[in-house]
Amino acid sequence: MAGIGFELRKIYGRKTLVSNIWGSIYATMTAIGPSVLAAALFLALKFLMDRAGIPELENRFFVSSFTYIFLISILISALFSTTLSRYISDCVFQKAEQEISASVFGTLALGTVLSGILMFLLCVGMYVYSAVPLYFLVIYYCLGVLVTNTYNIMTYVSALKQYKEVTFSYFVGLLLAAVIYMACTGIFHWPVVLAAYLSLMCGYFLVVFLLVFWCVKAFGKPGAKYFAWLTYFVRYPKLTISGFSYMLGFYVSTMIYWAFSDMREQVSIFSTAPVYDLAVFLAIAVNMSALVIFVVKAETAFFEKYVAYLSALNQGSYARIEKERENMNNTIRYQLFFVYEVQLIITVVLICMANVFFPYLNISAQVLNMFMILSMGLYTVFSMYFTVVFLYYFEDHTGACIGPCVFLLVTVLLAVLACIFGRLFYALPLLIGGLCGWILSFWRLRYRLAHLNAYLMCRGD
């Protein structure tokens, strides 16, 4: 996300109250703006559907079926994102931006194939199990492919350096979806769930179209190497393992509870755990601010020190190298602990506020209890991720794998045990798994920083 940092440094460099406020807004918009707008679109449709008074079964079907789309999309994009980010960075360094433009279309093609296979299986299951109409299945299938492509293209956002345009694309897509939903239900009187899915499909289609447009505009006419980035899966397999393990660990306990817990509910072919899912959603919302804080701190302070240290390695004396290394190490420690501490305060404060306001929102005590533990669990997971990002900077791919893989394994094991011992333990796997992954990642980062000169000069792992 270095591009965000360049823009933020220009904004904060003016050193005025207005620039500080605008810098914070800009960081929020670029780091989580698209995610917030997408969530707002879904929640707005859900609110309108509730106002329409649709049957509870249809309501649950809409939520459950869209949750499966989201999960498929996020996991497929996790397969690509870390390795693709490395490819984009190398292309930028080599000034081969036309290859970035070509890889956009290669990513879209491969993402369409993978998501298309999974979405086809879901559609077949719905048709056989619940006799869902074919016209609905076509819309559902297209939406799943479009959401996957949206997440895949978001990997290019840090290289685009057009964050306002990207957020604008999401906003226009949201607006189009709202207009289509209102027209389908108010004018044509279509079934509410069908109208919601059609509006989502049209909204995401416009988002994908606009994002591809911005990519081509930024990187130029695409070259002929649409799938050159696939070689990076062979060159850097640990990057793929690290990124996918982190994202799978994030949701693996949810999937296990869907299949085996005593909270599971079945709607058509979709199995979910609504109480746990709601608690996870609220816990993610509580910790989203950490992404903004990390982007602001990491991209405005660390990157300058990192470049200065690399310059010293190439041209400086040993004394200068050590000085720059120590400056960079101090910056990393300060940034990480700043993010750790500030987000911990935010999480604890919001947990306390939830205890006051959740009863007024008719949120059950069971959701509240899970939410409190899951909020701390996701705090540790985000903290692990921020630590791993610095390992990516120093090309410590083995170290970047250790924390996420341990996190995934511990979470899987404890989630299975939680299904055996009961819902009292359902929130613990994310907390314990995230804590284990965080500790190991932080230990590995300290080890890497202590031996950084030797590692970068010798390129050992």
> What DSSP line would sit under 109-146, residue for residue?
HHHHHHHHHHHHHHHHHHHHHH---HHHHHHHHHHHHH
Q: Could you read off the pLDDT of 109-168 as tens digits, one per residue? A: 999 999 999 999 999 999 999 999 999 999 999 999 999 999 898 888 766 666 677 778
pLDDT per position as a tens digit, 194-204: 999 999 999 99
Q: Do 91 and 152 sit in the same domain of this protein? A: yes
Q: Which two tokens stand for residue 37?
A: 């707008």
The answer to whether residue 271 is domain-embedded is no
Choose among 194, 178, 140: nearest CA to 40. Answer: 178
- Region 49-78: mean pLDDT is 88
- pLDDT band, residue 8 (cuts 50/70/90): very low
- CB within 8 Å of 430: residues ≥ 6 apart: 253, 374, 377, 378, 380, 381, 411
How large a percentage of the chain has pLDDT more than 90?
50
Mean residue pLDDT of the chain comes to 85
Please list, in sequence order, all residues whose beta carbon lies within 8 angstroms of the beta carbon of residue 409, skipping any fewer than 6 positions away: 433
| 10 assigned to some structural domain | yes
Q: What percent of the chain stands above pLDDT 70? A: 87
Residue 440: domain span: 283-458
Claim to verify: residue 41 and residue 170 sit in the same structural domain? yes
pLDDT at 19: 46
> Model-level pTM greater than 0.75?
yes
Cβ atoms of 408 and 252 closer than 8 Å: yes
Are residue 298 and residue 218 in the same domain, yes or no? no
206 and 87 in a common domain: yes
What gap in Å lies between CA 257 and CA 277, rounded to an integer? 10
Residue range 336-358, pLDDT digits in tens: 888 899 999 999 999 999 999 98
Instruction: Look at the block and give the residue holding tokens 């072919």.
Output: 269
The tally of domains found in the chain comes to 2
At residue 201, what are phi and psi to the nearest 5 degrees? -60, -45
Q: Are residues 183 and 307 in the same domain?
A: no
Residue 342 and residue 226 in one domain: no
pLDDT of residue 260: 93
Burial tier of 299 (Cβ tally within 10 Å: 0-12, 13-18, 19+) = buried
- pLDDT value at 4 more than 50: no
The answer to whether position 340 is within a domain reads yes
Q: Please, are residues 386 and 294 in contact by the beta-carbon 8 Å criterion?
A: yes
* Per-residue pLDDT reduced to its tens digit, 287-315: 888 877 787 666 566 777 877 887 887 77
For residue 76, which amino acid is it?
I
